[in-house]
Amino acid sequence: MIEKILVTVAGRGLCEEMLNMLMEIPSIKKASVTVLHVVPPQVSAQDMSTKLEEGGKILAEAVKSLNIDPSQVNPRLKQGDPKDVVLQVAEEEDSDLIIIGSRALGRLESILKNSVSQYVFQLTSRPMLLVKDDIYVKRINRIMVATDGSEAAQDCVKLAVSFLREIPNGQLILIHANPETKITSPEEDPVLSAATAEVKRAGIPVTAMIGRGNAGEEICRVADEKNVDLLILGSPDRRPSVAKGLPDIDRLLGNSLSDYVRVKASCPVLLARTID
């Protein structure tokens, strides 16, 4: 259940548009929303004062653009390193979902360019909805879930069902990448069969598909082919708590499926985090 949403705003409007689309979903309509704009440290007090004034205007415009009851909105203007502030506020607010913009940088490029979304994605254990600069935010009707039968994937299916249950003409697309080679159809796949049965019990139209080859490439290809409005992917947090204070360079540079999809997908990507 998503009851507390943290949306970060930077004056581009995409995260605000995404939030407006989400708030049309009946199960989310009553959620409280924290709208956060962070002003980075400046060289001088005068520069800081100017940036805070600009930040206040960005925050006010963002709140004004939201199509929700003002009593549900908590605007916050903060100073500091945006990466750390977003994590801090998410903890303070106990957010169920973080909505954040993404420049869709690759893993190494994200490190070199000090990407806020990559840093937060790496260190938070909370679900994140990434909205890339180069995508068009649409009303949510078609949701795709990449499933492998894991607990994280099952949670993703449940989340998608909760979104689509009351959306007229909503549709869920399930994809299982690289099941056993002897499986040639979705009906033969126990992972897809179980997920499909759960979706059908909720009365939601569902399409199940098997993908072969590179999992990330196949998931992104199908999402594009099916004109998906939102892609949900389980992304376990495998790092021990002792490492939480430091970016995990090995994973940032590794072949993480969630990293590939967040960069390459042509739609917003919701990474549902679980602790291994």
| Dihedrals phi, psi of 262, to nearest 5 degrees | -65, -30
Read off the DSSP letter of residue 228: -
CATH number of 142-275: 3.40.50.620
Angle among Cα 123, 98, 8 to the nearest 5 degrees reads 105
Which pLDDT score is estimated for 215? 92
| Coil, helix or strand at residue 102 | strand
What's the confidence (pLDDT) of residue 235? 74
For β-strands 97-102 and 73-79, DSSP reports them as unpaired
Q: What is the CA radius of gyration of the chain?
A: 19
Q: What is the pLDDT of residue 106?
A: 47
HSE (side-chain half, CA atoms, 13 Å) at 180:
7
Return d(Cα 180, Cα 267) in angstroms, integer.
Answer: 28
Cα–Cα distance measured from residue 226 to residue 143, given in angstroms and rounded to the nearest whole number: 10
Task: Give the number of residues written for the chain.
Answer: 276
Q: Which residues pair with 235 in a beta bridge?
A: 273
The predicted pLDDT at position 120 comes to 87
Residue 116: the pLDDT is 85
Beta bridge partners of residue 171, listed in sequence order: 142
Angstrom distance (rounded) from CA 186 to CA 176: 9
What is the C-alpha separation between 175 and 65, in angstroms, rounded? 35
Half-sphere exposure of 42 (CA within 13 A, CB side): 15
202: left (phi over 0), alpha (psi -120 to 50) or beta: alpha
The sheet that has 73-79: what strands, in order across it?
73-79, 32-39, 4-8, 97-102, 128-132, 269-275, 230-237, 142-146, 171-177, 206-211
In the chain, CATH 3.40.50.620 sits at 4-132, 142-275
pLDDT at 236: 62
pLDDT of residue 243: 41
CATH code: domain 4-132 is: 3.40.50.620
pLDDT for the residue numbered 237? 54
Looking at the chain, list the stretches that DSSP marks H as alpha helix, in order from N- to C-terminal side. Answer: 14-22, 45-64, 82-93, 107-112, 116-123, 151-164, 190-201, 215-225, 249-253, 257-264
CB 176 within 8 A of CB 188: no
User: What does the pLDDT read at residue 250?
Assistant: 40
pLDDT tens, per residue, the chain with 276 residues: 799 999 999 888 899 999 999 999 998 999 999 999 999 988 888 988 998 999 999 999 999 999 999 999 999 999 999 999 999 999 999 999 999 998 654 444 444 344 788 888 878 889 999 998 878 888 999 999 999 988 889 999 999 999 999 898 899 999 999 998 899 999 999 999 999 999 999 999 999 999 999 999 999 999 999 999 999 998 765 444 434 444 444 444 445 788 788 888 999 999 987 644
* Per-residue pLDDT at 1: 78
Q: Among 127, 128, 162, 146, which Cα is nearest to 25's?
A: 162
**Strand 128-132 and strand 269-275: pairing?**
antiparallel
Q: pTM of the predicted model, to two decimals?
A: 0.87
Give strand pairing partners of 230: 143
